[in-house]
Amino acid sequence: MAPGFGSADLFRMIGSFALVLALMAVLLWALRRLQSRMATHNSGRRLQIVESLSVGPRQKIALVRVGDNEVMVGITASQITALAQWQDRATPTTASPSSLQNELSQLSASLSANGDTHVA
């Protein structure tokens, strides 16, 4: 017998490859179906994360919708702080610039104390 692949080995490999591809296609279909069910199931929830942005290794800014209100929050490993709030998708109502600056400096100080500093 000559070393190498015989036709039976080749058909077995092609069949195994086709089986793996078919299994992946079925799993993709099932995940999409599950995702669409979850989206329709979550539409009745009052709390939704509209968008989030990572600003550091363990720091995020997120826009959260609660009913008809939207709240922008700063998220760290140990704290969540409200930064701004919108009602009925109108103009944002924020704290005064000095209090926002105080919040940001406190956030920076708490991050520095935890060793979670990030330079942009």
* Domain layout of the chain by residue ranges: 1-44, 47-114
The CA dihedral of 12, 16, 22, 25, to the nearest 10 degrees, is: -150
Per-residue tens of pLDDT for the chain, all 120 residues = 456 778 888 899 999 999 999 999 999 999 998 887 776 666 667 788 888 888 888 899 998 888 788 889 999 999 998 888 887 655 555 555 566 667 667 766 666 665 554 544
pTM of this prediction exceeds 0.85: no
CB neighbour list of residue 34: distance below 8 Å, 6 or more residues apart: none
Give the pairing type, strands 47-56 and 80-87: unpaired
Alpha-carbon torsion (74, 80, 81, 86), positive or negative: positive
Residue 120's pLDDT is 42
